[in-house]
Chain A
Amino acid sequence: MQFFFEVLIGGLLSGIMYSLVALGFVLIYKASGVFNFAQGAMVYFAALSLVGCMEKGAPLWLAFILAFVVMTLLGIATEKFVLRKMVNQAPIALFMATIGLAFFIEGLAPMLWGNEVRPLNIGLVDEPIAWILDRYNIVVSSFDLAAAGLALALVAVLALFFQYTRIGRALRAVADDHQAALSIGIPLQHIWALVWAVAGFVALVAGMLWGSRNGVQYALTFTALKALPVLILGGFTSVPGAIVGGLIIGASEKLAEIYIPPVLADIFGGNFGGIENWFPYVLALLFLLVRPEGLFGERHIDRV
């Protein structure tokens, strides 16, 4: 039973980290209607920039700031050279452009910083929390907990930002209707640059956490791809949805990985690991059939 809770809690905590990546998607989608497939690549790029700066001797706080500057510049460049030129095109075309962007970044990052796997030390240790271990005999990683706490704090700040500040309101207006926002004087390009900067910041935090947990490597981009099922469950435009979706995906993928393979091995014989590679996507697919707009997403009604 304890093992079940261990797996569950571990899954929930990693789920929060998925939420972080999904958050970046939500931000950009909310503000510009663009589904940014390159978010995963951005996480990777951010993490690499961070380690790269640290390797050159910068302390963590300085490397973080430098990496943030790099991500902001990347976001602004993307908006200026790619998105602005594609304003009239269908959303699918924009989506495919972000796929191209993902590939571009995935080539650029290792070219600038090298592609060996690197550890990232941010001062959090991956050890079981002593008092939980003693009292309940469950292993809960202190790293996971701290990371989850950080992620939740970030999400809370962003939610408040969107809801209560002037800029947050402007972002929501832009997400709703570009033309209308323009007509009331909202500077569209500044807003988009700002959104991509914030998304870059989120990518950086996600990259930092994932990178220190698993090492900074190319596989980070696949982890980020898992954010897609999170978005489907949570809805593309919802910040709380990204969290709930992340929790569900994180927990279910770990539980599936632990409990399904033995059952299959009994029936068919052989090793059935690797379920977590596809389980989140299949789950999202089944979910889509029941509720296409996600748990918290907006219903889309076509007017004829």
Chain B
Amino acid sequence: MARQIGDVILDLKNISLRFGGVKALTEISFDVREHEIRAIIGPNGAGKSSMLNVINGVYRPQEGEIIFRGEHRHDMDTHAAAEAGIARTFQNIALFKGMTVLDNLMAGRNLKMKSNFLMHALWWGPAKREELGHRRKVEEVIDFLDIEHIRKTPVGRLPYGLQKRVELGRALAAEPQILLLDEPMAGMNVEEKQDMCRFILDVNDQLGTTMVLIEHDMGVVMDISDRVVVLDYGKKIGDGVPDEVKNNPEVIAAYLGTQH
């Protein structure tokens, strides 16, 4: 099922993050290998979203290092993270509600667009060619996610499950090196979850995209992830393949509950 898992492409060392007096993350270290699906799990408030926010530059950790593809990334902001090829989705859907599905996905490719506003105003040759070239690419993503029928629909009008899928599409449109997924299946029913699982696995399988995913549904996590990190109160309490983590007594005590 899984692709050939490669070398470490993201290395997090001793990340500590504080908000005033609140310690969100304390000396977290773990790595992510190329082509793998890495899950982050933990109770609410454990710091999982904060961890993702650190990886893509939304928060700057007070201590620790982020090494991406061998390069130390100091003071990485969101723009630098996006340029480095880190894409993400959000827990509470961060789509551009005033735009269509197609526009949202095209927006995801903005870093790859080189023409400036004057060329756009004139719809000058290179600008037009560029737009159509990117449109072609985006249509591949649309095809992949089965959302052709809604490509011209304003995103605000779509049901929740489809919006989540569109958000995945926007992240994929950027052809990312690493995809961060923040609870991609939150609020979905069984069918929608199965669809989303399938897409995630397909992305990993066919495109080889490395993924870091936060998820609460244990069944999903155990099924699709290659390795798991467990957080609790901002500290790492488990790290390894799903079976190992499942049987770790600390993890069980904090999160999973005792087995029946």
Interface residues of A (CB under 8 A from B): 304
With CB as the reference atom, state the residue of chain A lying closest to B59.
A304
> How far, in angstroms, from A304 to B48 measured CA to CA in the complex?
12
> How far, in angstroms, from A304 to B94 measured CA to CA in the complex?
9
> How far, in angstroms, from A49 to B142 measured CA to CA in the complex?
62
Cβ-based interface call for B233 (8 A): no
Cβ–Cβ < 8 Å partners of B94 in chain A: 304
With CB as the reference atom, state the residue of chain B lying closest to A301.
B19
With CB as the reference atom, state the residue of chain B lying closest to A304.
B58
Main secondary structure of the interface of B (DSSP, over half): loop
> How far, in angstroms, from A244 to B49 measured CA to CA in the complex?
40
5 contacts between A and B (CB under 8 A): A304-B49, A304-B53, A304-B58, A304-B90, A304-B94
Interface residues of B (CB under 8 A from A): 49, 53, 58, 90, 94
With CB as the reference atom, state the residue of chain A lying closest to B78.
A304
A92 to chain B, nearest CB (A): 13
> How far, in angstroms, from A304 to B49 measured CA to CA in the complex?
9
Cβ–Cβ < 8 Å partners of B49 in chain A: 304
> How far, in angstroms, from A194 to B58 measured CA to CA in the complex?
42
Cβ–Cβ < 8 Å partners of B58 in chain A: 304
> How far, in angstroms, from A169 to B88 measured CA to CA in the complex?
42
3 tightest CB-CB pairs across the interface, nearest first?
Answer: A304-B58, A304-B53, A304-B90
> How far, in angstroms, from A304 to B53 measured CA to CA in the complex?
8
B167 to chain A, nearest CB (A): 14
Cβ–Cβ < 8 Å partners of B90 in chain A: 304
> How far, in angstroms, from A220 to B47 measured CA to CA in the complex?
54
> How far, in angstroms, from A304 to B54 measured CA to CA in the complex?
12
B19 to chain A, nearest CB (A): 9
B60 to chain A, nearest CB (A): 13
> How far, in angstroms, from A304 to B78 measured CA to CA in the complex?
13
> How far, in angstroms, from A6 to B2 measured CA to CA in the complex?
82
With CB as the reference atom, state the residue of chain A lying closest to B53.
A304
A304 to chain B, nearest CB (A): 6
Cβ–Cβ < 8 Å partners of A304 in chain B: 49, 53, 58, 90, 94
B183 to chain A, nearest CB (A): 13
With CB as the reference atom, state the residue of chain A lying closest to B90.
A304
> How far, in angstroms, from A44 to B256 measured CA to CA in the complex?
65
Cβ–Cβ < 8 Å partners of B53 in chain A: 304
> How far, in angstroms, from A304 to B58 measured CA to CA in the complex?
9
B45 to chain A, nearest CB (A): 13
A93 to chain B, nearest CB (A): 13
With CB as the reference atom, state the residue of chain A lying closest to B49.
A304
> How far, in angstroms, from A42 to B198 measured CA to CA in the complex?
59
> How far, in angstroms, from A129 to B13 measured CA to CA in the complex?
72
> How far, in angstroms, from A304 to B89 measured CA to CA in the complex?
11
A292 to chain B, nearest CB (A): 19
B93 to chain A, nearest CB (A): 12
B164 to chain A, nearest CB (A): 17
B88 to chain A, nearest CB (A): 10
B18 to chain A, nearest CB (A): 15
A3 to chain B, nearest CB (A): 48
> How far, in angstroms, from A304 to B90 measured CA to CA in the complex?
8
> How far, in angstroms, from A304 to B51 measured CA to CA in the complex?
12
> How far, in angstroms, from A28 to B247 measured CA to CA in the complex?
57
B51 to chain A, nearest CB (A): 13
With CB as the reference atom, state the residue of chain A lying closest to B58.
A304
> How far, in angstroms, from A304 to B52 measured CA to CA in the complex?
11
